[in-house]
Amino acid sequence: MGCMHMKKRIKLKGRIKTYIQFCIYLGILLCVVDVAMFMIDVRAGALLAGYTVLYFAITLSRYFYNKTIIMNELVSFATEYGQIQRKLLRELELPYALLDDSGKVIWTNVAFESVVHQPKGYNKSITSLFPTLTRDRLPDDSGVDEAQYELEYEGNEFIAKFRKISLKEMAEHSDMIDAKDYNGYLIAVYLFDETALHIALQEVDDQSLAVGMIYLDNYEEALESVEEVRRSLLIALIDRKVNKYISGFDGICKKLEKDKYLVIMRKKAIAQLQESRFDLLEDVKTVNIGNEMAVTLSIGVGLDGLTYAQNYEFARNAIDLALGRGGDQAVIKTPESITYYGGKSQQVEKNTRVKARVKAHALREIITSKDLVLVMGHRMPDVDSFGAAVGIYRIAQTLGRKAHIVLNEATPAIAPMVELFQNNPEYEEDMIINSTQAIEAASSNSVLVVVDVNKPSITECPDLLRFCKSVVVLDHHRQGTETIENATLSYVEPYASSSCEMVSEILQYTYDNIKIHTEEADCMYSGIMIDTNNFMTKTGVRTFEAAAFLRRNGADVTRVRKLFREDALEYKAKADAVSQAEIYKQYFAISVCTADDLPSPTIIGAQAANELLNIKGIKASFVLTDYQGKIYISARSIDEVNVQIIMERMGGGGHMNTAACQMEGMGLIEAIGALKRTIDVMLENNEI
């Protein structure tokens, strides 16, 4: 019954239909000729008419008799032809399968079966074989006819290509079958085995060249702490340690200078170094032949550059970052990212002021060559930022140049200091201007001095960096991934306690017997005092020297103390944050500052974090503040824990003992959870 139905449905069309019906067309032509014959000769016409009738009788009887046979033969040939194609497709070496429109497997070839280790006749969903290939990823009615995905199956890697096959189109392209109302579609799947190619590419990548640079951070200082006859032994021991370590990874290490090495190795070896977390950093500290100071080193590595020269440039940038962040760490730079390792030890303060003098002279040359000086700190400025800006303002004034401090809003922290200059007859009314005014004033003949920040995105006015061709950066924060590029002069010293300390030193060298007003001295002294937490953290010999210089120039300790007395509500909020602190993992104090009704709760949070360090046994403190839809985390430590690397992991940054980060899109409880998870992971990996 099904066969008869099929024969009724199937109709001939195209050239084969014309070929089979050709005899009938000839018969019609014969009829026309017969009519013409009757006109010429009746007897000849009658004879031809008889022949025509006989021709039609034979032709039509053969046509109807043979039609079924021909149709059967055509169907038989098509089937046999299809069988041969099917056999070839089944034995094709490329894995191939057909799916229905729901993603169910309806046909597979031998190669596909051997790849997925399933027998012939497997008819489950493709998702059961490849879990990532869900129905929504396959071609569908929405107009997506092709798709391509990377798959992994039992250790092999494939590229799977999908193609939609419309049943209606298949019927329309047939020369023999006139099929209408064919709906639905099939999906053809091809699997291309990319495993060998990926292995080859990985091998090429592993063998690619990586360039590294190793600098000894405190070479001179370490040698000075050893008696002269043993110095060559200390150098030899360090050389041996570095060379042996690098050769252990099949690399080449060449000493360039007394304290610098160039390293060439394979990328695969760098991955091993990362796994061991650059244990050379700790290993080199064990070299001790009576030297009071342990030797530390910095490592910079350049990877994945387009050329060897670019890798070398990456390595140079990486070593600069490592040194700029205080040394004793490794930095890996690639075109996409920068990764930091180590950085656990304190920076060593350099006792020489040569660098400060050189930078001061360079700054003087830049300022005197310009007409206008613009000074800018960071967003939500603090005392150190404003104090340093005031110091630069004084330098510009002394050198006879017009100067402006760029400040959009005086935060409560600096409001008492800003008031010292506003409505003060000794200072011009436009001493402090906002971002819009600064952009209008900026020209090719102006210099922009950025203080207390080296991240362009968090400066008071990031756009101003584009308008000023000449930019000077003075900062004491460790450099991160984002830095102010193309600065005419950059003086970034992470060992300095504060930007005010650096500016105080520069002041002494830019002009002989420079005169500083008492208000300016108070501001700069305040900056040092606040950033060192009353001279308790990061205070070196030069910090006290800078403070003494300011004291000689009129800074009044009592007046400064009065400036920073706290409001009763602020004091209570800080005490509240301290009282509800949670001690996590024995050494970490975590608390929340809920000072919603106060103008600057983040500063209260930072002060509370400082207070928490006074608890015995606490190595690091974290205070979280929910302010203006963001979670601010202030992190502090004394010496054993580097809070900078914890905050960098959470998207922030700062110093080894003072760091912070901002988090969006989450509440306080989630943020505390994220902080605890970060601490757990870093403790597990022995990173802190």
Residue-wise pLDDT tens digits, 306-363? 899 999 999 998 888 787 777 788 989 988 888 888 866 555 555 567 778 888 888 9
Place of tokens 């990061």: 538
Pick the last residue of a domain from 318, 342, 366.
Answer: 342
Task: Indicate if 389 and 482 belong to the same structural domain.
Answer: yes
Task: Indicate if 494 and 573 belong to the same structural domain.
Answer: no
- Yes or no: say if 292 and 324 are a contact pair by the CB < 8 Å rule: no
Give a yes or no: residue 349 inside a domain: no
- Yes or no: say if 343 and 328 are a contact pair by the CB < 8 Å rule: yes
Q: What is the mean pLDDT of the chain?
A: 84
Task: Indicate if 556 and 434 belong to the same structural domain.
Answer: yes
pTM of the entire structure? 0.56
* Average confidence (pLDDT) over 613-638: 91
- When divided into structural domains, the chain yields a total of 5
Give a yes or no: residue 4 inside a domain: no
Give a yes or no: residue 1 inside a domain: no
| Rounded-to-integer distance, Cα 112 and Cα 191, Å | 8
pLDDT category of residue 11 using cuts at 50, 70 and 90:
low
* Average confidence (pLDDT) over 26-34: 82
Task: Indicate if 213 and 164 belong to the same structural domain.
Answer: no
**pLDDT for residue 8:** 44
* Average confidence (pLDDT) over 56-69: 76
pLDDT category of residue 169 using cuts at 50, 70 and 90:
low
Pick the last residue of a domain from 200, 234, 251.
Answer: 200
Task: Indicate if 15 and 80 belong to the same structural domain.
Answer: yes
What's the CATH number where 162 sits? 3.30.450.20
**pLDDT for residue 182:** 53
Residue 528 has pLDDT above 90, yes or no: yes
Task: Provide CB contacts within 8 A for 375, sequence distance 6+.
Answer: 389, 392, 393, 396, 403, 404, 405, 406, 448, 449, 451
Residue 633 has pLDDT above 70, yes or no: yes
* Average confidence (pLDDT) over 554-579: 86
Give a yes or no: residue 417 inside a domain: yes
Pick the last residue of a domain from 200, 231, 260.
Answer: 200
**pLDDT for residue 255:** 92
Residue 565 has pLDDT above 90, yes or no: no
> Tell me: the pLDDT tens digits for 68-125?
777 777 767 777 777 787 788 878 888 888 888 777 888 888 888 888 888 877 778 8
Task: Indicate if 670 and 621 belong to the same structural domain.
Answer: yes
Strands 260-266 and 209-216: antiparallel
- Yes or no: say if 644 and 344 are a contact pair by the CB < 8 Å rule: no
| Rounded-to-integer distance, Cα 270 and Cα 255, Å | 19
Task: Indicate if 438 and 458 belong to the same structural domain.
Answer: yes
| Residue, of 504 and 341, whose pLDDT is higher | 504
If you average pLDDT over each of 39-53, 194-208, 362-376, 653-667, which comes out highest?
A: 362-376
Query: Of 235-239, 285-289, 346-350, 674-678, which gets the smallest average pLDDT?
Result: 346-350
Which residue, 369, 374, 394, 384, is CA-closest to 510? 394
Place of tokens 């054993």: 640
Give a yes or no: residue 373 inside a domain: yes
Determine the structural domain holding residue 613 and report its residue range. 568-684
* Average confidence (pLDDT) over 610-618: 90
Give a yes or no: residue 348 inside a domain: no
Task: Indicate if 456 and 500 belong to the same structural domain.
Answer: yes
Task: Indicate if 421 and 551 belong to the same structural domain.
Answer: yes
Task: Indicate if 362 and 434 belong to the same structural domain.
Answer: yes
Give a yes or no: residue 3 inside a domain: no
**pLDDT for residue 349:** 55
> Tell me: the pLDDT tens digits for 530-564?
888 888 877 888 899 999 999 998 888 888 888 87
What's the CATH number where 496 sits? 3.90.1640.10
What's the CATH number where 666 sits? 3.10.310.30
Give a yes or no: residue 21 inside a domain: yes
Task: Indicate if 130 and 65 belong to the same structural domain.
Answer: no
Task: Indicate if 555 and 680 belong to the same structural domain.
Answer: no
Query: Of 3-12, 460-469, 630-639, which gets the smallest average pLDDT?
Result: 3-12
**pLDDT for residue 10:** 53
Residue type for position 242: V
Residue 196 has pLDDT above 90, yes or no: no
Residue 592 has pLDDT above 70, yes or no: yes
What's the CATH number where 281 sits? 3.30.70.270
